[in-house]
Amino acid sequence: MRNAINTVVGAVLVFTAYYVGLLIVNLTSLPVPGPLVGLLLLVGVLFAFPQTERQVARAVTFPLKHMSLLFVPAVLGVSIYWSDIKANALAIAIAIIITTSFCLGLTAWLTQALLNTKSTHKTQLNNINKNEGGTND
């Protein structure tokens, strides 16, 4: 019984965040999707109240395990536009390759920059500790 209650509480939190996100976007005319705002609200709730993580996890486990079923309507919907896709296949392929390469390159560059910053910071801490006679764990 307690598991069922936890699942319902988690589902209520997820759906509340979703609909509050939609409401915020509709009231403020923000140029972002309502579900994204709801997701950010849910993340905020999870950070503010870590004990709710268990309930949310119980509620979303089943849909996440069967996510592929949720994509079937979208894949079938794309088939309506198959003639357009075929006509523009080269442009679509080039766009996918260029944007994917750009995103991977940007991510690699940013990761390298952050790792270098962390390494430099750690070296500076070690030098400070050596000068003070302390140790850095």
Do 89 and 40 reside in the same domain of the chain? Answer: no
- Per-residue H/E/C for 12-44: HHHHHHHHHHHHHHHHHCCCCCHHHHHHHHHHH
State whether 32 and 52 are in the same domain: yes
Residue 133 — very low, low, confident or very high, per pLDDT cuts 50/70/90?
A: low
Q: Is the dihedral of CA 41, 45, 46, 52 positive or negative?
A: negative
Residues 52 and 112 in one domain: no
Q: How many domains are contained in the chain?
A: 2
Range of the domain at 104: 71-137
List Cα–Cα distances, 80 to 13, 86, 92, 129, in angstroms. 36, 12, 17, 66
Chain position carrying tokens 């910071």: 121
Judgement on whether residues 44 and 83 belong to the same structural domain of the protein? no
- The residue out of 18, 38, 69 marking a domain boundary is 69
pTM (two decimals): 0.56
Residues 47, 28 share a domain: yes
DSSP class of residue 66? T
Q: Assess whether pLDDT exceeds 80 at residue 86.
A: yes
Q: Is the pLDDT of residue 135 over 90?
A: no
- pLDDT > 70? residue 128: yes
Same domain, 51 and 27: yes
Q: Does residue 65 sit in the same domain as residue 84?
A: no
Greatest CA separation found in the chain? 72
Q: Over the chain, what is the mean pLDDT? A: 90
User: Are 137 and 108 in a shared domain?
Assistant: yes
Let me know whether 65 and 12 are in one domain. yes
Last residue of a domain, one of 13, 45, 69: 69
- Judgement on whether residues 82 and 40 belong to the same structural domain of the protein: no
